[in-house]
Amino acid sequence: MAKGTRYTPEFKAKAVRLLAESRGSYSSETKAIEQVAKDLGVAPETLRRWRNKTDATVAAETKLIWPDSTYARHVS
């Protein structure tokens, strides 16, 4: 089995940031992912995984910073 291309953490972060910034220009999240992935030369599913991992990391960090009861008061 061939190994895929390895991307740097910086490239992944920039790709996810570009996706977030360009989301409003497309009619759906799927279309945004498809176009940004095409522009960057990566598979849409790869970009989707990077975005999901970033979302999960942010959620985990938020939970560490804001205990459940404190966080709930701030977002309500």
Residue 24 belongs to what domain range?
Answer: 9-75
Do residues 54 and 67 make contact, with C-beta atoms less than 8 angstroms apart? no
Which amino acid makes up residue 56?
A
Residue 32's alpha-carbon distances to 3, 4, 61, in angstroms, are: 27, 23, 26
User: What distance in Å separates the CA atoms of residue 12 and residue 49, rounded to the nearest whole number?
Assistant: 10
Do residues 51 and 19 make contact, with C-beta atoms less than 8 angstroms apart? yes
pLDDT of residue 58: 74
Give the confidence band of 70 by pLDDT, cuts at 50, 70, 90: low
In a domain, 54, yes or no: yes
Do residues 40 and 17 make contact, with C-beta atoms less than 8 angstroms apart? no
CATH code of 48's domain: 1.10.10.10
pLDDT digits (tens, 9 = 90+) for 10-50: 999 999 999 999 999 999 999 999 999 999 999 999 999 99
